[in-house]
Structure 1
């Protein structure tokens, strides 16, 4: 079998950990099960996303900061991994998913806006992500410090555009935007001017690692980001007005479930 680049990295992890199925041993998800999709989320559980939907959720593994589930929704069987915040957690999940029989991986998470005209609740997907965090560097062939801050561009943009077009057919608007990826939610404020000068429109922590891994695998992948706050408009996570709060929750709990179902049905 010809291994993809992520499987080559995973091979070393298996050797030192005595595991043949890291996905099952760490997250309780059998690699041989061909799920309609695998959803990876830093903090959102399926109960939070599908709270207004008819769904069956089975908890597979529960840790302090991570958990995994099998979800039955609209006739689809989905594996769900709540991996914890940060690219360091996201990378380990993506390595384990390299062996999964599932062909589609969906990242879902919240994102902060850096431009005042971006509304809370907007659904975005990265057209490029800037890797100003450390974990993405470990997916390159060497630990070259020059890879810090590199631009990660999804190589499956044709597939992403197809998802966006299908979403439009369901009257769900998805916007392609440039994303800055950080290691610290608080330290970013000290460097906001620098961050905005990169051309980034959104800021979060994981999508550079997500797309670097997807680019190295033979899988379909897309990140679905829901705008939760806007530093440029002085709208914080804890000081949203009623309209912004409604738009955010409608996107997260109505539109994202629709998109997950739609992606599962796509070729």
Structure 2
């Protein structure tokens, strides 16, 4: 039995048997072991136009349907799907992908930067995420942060070093409330070592630990929250950066053990 807490989000239950289990409603499929979750829908659209994708499933909600695709990279099968914005949606998506049979994941997307000097497109590899969202507290006991799998981090860093790609290994701030990123909260997160802010990393790390799958993130510097005013920096129009990051994610994902 769990004990009642003044704050319901702290009432963690370690029981893995839920009223609704993903494995009970999602059928296993002949899917690749590796999957890239990308928040770059434009890259997926271009891959479709180039006949590089084959649909093998669908992640369906009451409001949106996201196709699950398979492609080939270096002669190997690999999955790819557009990410669902926010921790809760991302959690449902990841749970169903795991239930289908995927076991190794690289997530790639953009993130707001909290410190000056980080150019648009500069890669950031999160090693830890501050849990300022709600989802992760249902998968892991309460704590301030959740870490990325160390083995996955090693694979990511080794590949970036091999390819001579500059990157920052840093802490990220995961929050559900992008309209509540106040000046004082940004300062607090920076003081804790956060370089980026996004909405999914803590959830992804928590679920991957809970379900025993491999997962890592590679982000690129997007909009800038380090100044007095927010600067979009037209971060979501950098087509070449986004395309190259997806291709890099394929390469990394296939090397995960």
TM-score normalised by L of structure 2: 0.78
Deviations 1:120-162 (A, max 9, x none): 1012121110010111111136xxxxx3x721012x2133112
What pairs with 1:1-267 in structure 2 (closer than 5 Å)? 9=16, 11-14=18-21, 20-24=23-27, 31-42=28-39, 44=41, 47-48=44-45, 50=47, 55-58=52-55, 60-61=57-58, 64-74=63-73, 75-140=75-140, 147=142, 150-154=144-148, 156-190=149-183, 191-233=185-227, 236-237=231-232, 239-240=233-234, 248-267=238-257
Alignment check: 8 A CA contact 2:35 2:253 kept: no
Q: 1:9 to 1:236 in 2, by over 3 A?
A: farther
- Which structure 2 segments of 5+ residues have no match? 1-13
Deviations 1:200-244 (A, max 9, x none): 11100110111111122332211121211112156622x44xxx7
Alignment check: 8 A CA contact 1:87 1:135 kept: yes
Query: Secondary structure of the residue that 1:12 maps to in structure 2?
Result: coil
Residue in 1 aligned with 2:10? none
Q: 1:112 to 1:216 in 2, by over 3 A?
A: same
Residue in 2 aligned with 1:28? none
Size of the alignment, in residue pairs? 240
Query: Secondary structure of the residue that 1:186 maps to in structure 2?
Result: helix
In the TM superposition, residue 69 of structure 1 has moved relative to its aligned partner by 1.9
Is the deviation greater in 43-52 or in 66-75? 43-52
In the TM superposition, residue 196 of structure 1 has moved relative to its aligned partner by 2.4
Is the deviation greater in 63-72 or in 211-220? 63-72
Paired with 2:124 and 2:77, the residues of 1 have a C-alpha distance of: 25
Q: 1:53 to 1:8 in 2, by over 3 A?
A: farther
Alignment check: 8 A CA contact 1:112 1:202 kept: yes
Query: Secondary structure of the residue that 2:41 maps to in structure 1?
Result: coil
TM-score normalised by L of structure 1: 0.75
Paired with 2:211 and 2:47, the residues of 1 have a C-alpha distance of: 28
In the TM superposition, residue 89 of structure 1 has moved relative to its aligned partner by 0.9
Deviations 1:183-214 (A, max 9, x none): 11111135322332332111001101111111
Query: Secondary structure of the residue that 1:213 maps to in structure 2?
Result: helix
Paired with 1:236 and 1:49, the residues of 2 have a C-alpha distance of: 27
In the TM superposition, residue 58 of structure 1 has moved relative to its aligned partner by 2.3
Alignment check: 8 A CA contact 1:126 1:177 kept: yes
- Which structure 1 segments of 5+ residues have no match? 1-6, 25-30, 142-146
Paired with 1:23 and 1:174, the residues of 2 have a C-alpha distance of: 37
